[in-house]
Amino acid sequence: MPDQERTADVSPQATIGDGTKVWHLAQVREDAVVGPGCVVGRGAYIGTGVRVGARSKIQNYALVYEPAELGEGVFVGPAAVLTNDHFPRAVSPDGSAKSAHDWTPVGVTVREGASIGAGAVCVAPVTVGRWALVAAGAVVIRDVPDFALVVGNPARRVGWVGRTGEQLVRDGDRWVCPGTGEQYEEIDDVLVEVGGSS
């Protein structure tokens, strides 16, 4: 085991893919599945049964609570939080300590290639669409469409991004990635790749 992984707390019941690096003080809980080629940063938390797709990056001190599901190539920035409780309370109405049996966790889903910026909070249950970009510090309380750029609290769409993460520019009736030249069409507030799948 590499030196950086010696202080990590990885459950024997977790599955870690080939080539994945788990850094100092990170915790990966029981039944979590982290795909191949991932990076789990210092102090990050991956909850029980969480699924993380191949080549994803969970940056330092990010908290990914169960039952979150992350697609391939997902980026979760430093200190970002994916929550799991509709009605968070430490105690029940009678004052007794709340136990795991007193609530039902709900998850955040992050689709392929999407990025969650540093310090952002995704309040479950929400879905962040493919290749979407949640800006640093945003608070996501509604689903984010594919390729959307969302900012603020609560997060709102302010533009579209391509696979490179660059903001798309309008060219006539299409949106174009300045980095790759890929083209998209906006149909009823949904962005679709021209010649690609929606």
At 26, list the tokens.
């990170």
β-pairing, 169-171 with 174-176? antiparallel
β-pairing, 69-70 with 109-110? parallel
Contacts by 186-190, CB closer than 8 A, 24 or more apart: 186/160, 189/145, 190/145, 190/146
34 neighbors 18 (Cβ within 8 angstroms): no
List the chain residues with pLDDT less than 50.
Answer: 1-3, 196-198
Q: Could you read off the pLDDT of 44-86 as tens digits, one per residue?
A: 999 999 999 999 999 999 999 999 999 999 999 999 999 999 8
DSSP state of 144: B
pLDDT, position 195: 65
pTM: 0.93
pLDDT, position 3: 47
pLDDT, position 5: 59
